[in-house]
Chain A
Amino acid sequence: MDLPHHGYRATKPRARAAPPAADSVLFEDTSSVGPAMNSQGYYTPGYNMEGASNIQEGPGMNNLFADPMASAAMMYGSSLANQGKDMVNKEISRFMSVNKLKYFFAVDTRYVLKKLMILMFPYTHQDWEVRYHRDTPLPPRQDVNAPDLYIPTMAFITYILLAGMALGIQKRFSPEVLGLCASTALVWIIIEVLVMLLSLYLLTIHSDLSTFDLIAYSGYKYVGMIFVVMGGLLFGSDGYFVALAWSSCALMFFIVRSLKMKILPSLSSDSMGTGSSAKPQLRLYVTAATAIFQPIIIYWLTSHLVR
């Protein structure tokens, strides 16, 4: 895959889409096949019921469809459920593309384990390049460098639960505190993503980082936060600071190496004339600022939990 020209690379040249069902290499999507088959299996015995020819059904289905009202009600209910599902899908797809979101949740256990290892110990990881397959990025199942949204979501929820537990240990718990903690963390992520988007726009950095990518990279700090809070709970104040130092260094390294590939371009020889001397510096500042912001926010959001 070669870039058409270097001067003005298009923003987001590749769309991340869940490929259609024919391309089963990238993404097995069995959600649409399963219920259709089930409802097919349920419909046909219901139609044949009046003819009293229950022979073709298995013995387990007889008592379900002996009552015509129950089968009619089940058919009606399933058609209502399908209508509701279609309506919800249509409304949601007006705001965000569900296919792009599906890409970020295509993970498996091996990927999650490797990614967590990289997040906590990124110093031995060699190859940080995101791999592509015919112009679309590979889903996280096949590429350990691809960002995903599963780990940040789970880490966010775990962080909230851990915060509740830490406050409960210190007898400072009340149910409102959980909601407050959750919304504070969410607001900080929103602020960080907005600042990143603003800086990417103002400095005219044409990278293929979408909004979901930025949310993913911002959400990886929750893994560090969980580690820090666990260290603080298990080993007291000393353990808290040691864990904070460790996870800050690891996260800063991870963010710099990951964003360097996306933001700082591979500078070719025919880059633009006068502006190019300032551009790599500004991009470096953006990457460095993002990295510096991580330990600050980790400290801010966890220090009140571990006194």
Chain B
Amino acid sequence: MAFTLYSLIQAAILCVNAVAVLHEERFLSKIGWGVDQSVGGFGDEPGVKVQLMNLVRSVRTVMRVPLIAVNSVCIVLLLLFG
């Protein structure tokens, strides 16, 4: 399996896109992963699921605008250079 750095970048863009399309109220709440369901116990150790939900929500919030730019660049490059 020969990787180049370009394939790593491609994989990273695809993964971040996949996380970004998870809609908050249409999908995540339906399967119990919404933000309103993450207020668990008040101990200082949140569980794995709460951490994962926080991670998904923060990735979606942070990467929403940069993803627009990165995807546009990617589309243009793929159209031009195949």
**Residue positions of A touching B, CB distance < 8 A:** 7-8, 180, 183-184, 186-188, 190-191, 201-204, 272-275, 279, 300
Kindly list 8 other residue pairs between chains A and B, CB separation below 8 angstroms, not including A183-B4, A188-B3, A275-B47: A7-B44, A180-B4, A183-B3, A184-B2, A190-B8, A202-B48, A202-B51, A203-B48
Interface residues of B in 43-57 (CB under 8 A from A): 43-48, 51-52, 55
The residue from B43, B45, B47, B51 contacting A201, defined by CB atoms under 8 A apart: B51
Bound complex: CA of A57 vs CA of B48, how far in Å? 71
The count of chain B contact residues (Cβ–Cβ below 8 Å) is 16
Contact A183 B5 (CB under 8 A): yes
Q: How far is the CA of A7 from the CA of B44 in the complex (A)?
A: 8
Interface of B is mostly: loop
Identify A204's interface contact among B1, B4, B46, CB under 8 A: B46
How many angstroms between the C-alpha atoms of A184 and B4 in the bound complex?
6
How far is it, in angstroms, between the C-alpha of A21 and the C-alpha of B76 when the chains are bound?
A: 51
- Which residues does chain A contribute within 8 Å of B7, judged by CB atoms? 187
Contact, CB under 8 Å: A186 / B5: yes
CA distance A275 to B48 in the complex (A): 11
- Cα A273 to Cα B41 in complex, Å, equals 12
Cβ of B55 and Cβ of A279 under 8 Å apart?
A: no
Contact B45 A272 (CB under 8 A): yes
Chain A contact residues: over half helix, strand or loop, or mixed?
Answer: helix
**Judging by beta carbons under 8 Å apart, are A272 and B44 in contact?**
yes
- Interface residues in B32-64 by Cβ distance below 8 A to A read 43-48, 51-52, 55
A202 partner, pick from B3, B4, B52, beta carbons under 8 A: B52
Q: Which 6 A-B pairs have the closest CB atoms?
A: A187-B3, A275-B45, A184-B3, A202-B51, A187-B8, A8-B44
Question: Are the CB atoms of B2 and A204 closer together than 8 Å?
Answer: no
Contact check, B43 vs A204: say whether CB atoms are below 8 A apart: no
A201 contacts which chain B residues (CB < 8 A)? Answer: 51, 55
A-B contact pairs, 24 of them (CB 8 A): A8-B44, A183-B3, A183-B4, A183-B5, A184-B2, A184-B4, A187-B3, A187-B5, A187-B7, A187-B8, A190-B8, A191-B8, A201-B51, A201-B55, A202-B48, A202-B51, A202-B52, A203-B51, A204-B45, A204-B51, A274-B43, A275-B45, A275-B47, A300-B1
B contact residues around A188 at 8 Å (CB): 3
Nearest residue, chain A, Cβ from B47: A275
**Alpha-carbon gap, A272 to B45, bound state (A):** 8
Supposing A201-B55, A202-B52 touch, asked if A180 and B2 sit within 8 A by C-beta, the answer is yes
B55 and A184 within 8 A (CB): no
In the assembled complex, which residues on chain B have CB atoms less than 8 Å from the CB atom of A202?
Answer: 48, 51-52, 55
Q: Which residues of A contact B43 (CB under 8 A)?
A: 272-275
Task: Flag B1-18 by CB within 8 Å of A: 1 or 0 each.
Answer: 111110110000000000
Cα A187 to Cα B51 in complex, Å, equals 26
Determine the chain A residues whose CB is within 8 A of the CB of B51 once the complex forms: 201-204
Instruction: Please indicate the chain A residues that have their CB under 8 angstroms from the CB of B3 in the complex.
Output: 183-184, 187-188
Question: In the complex, what's the smallest C-beta–C-beta distance from B61 to chain A, in angstroms?
Answer: 16
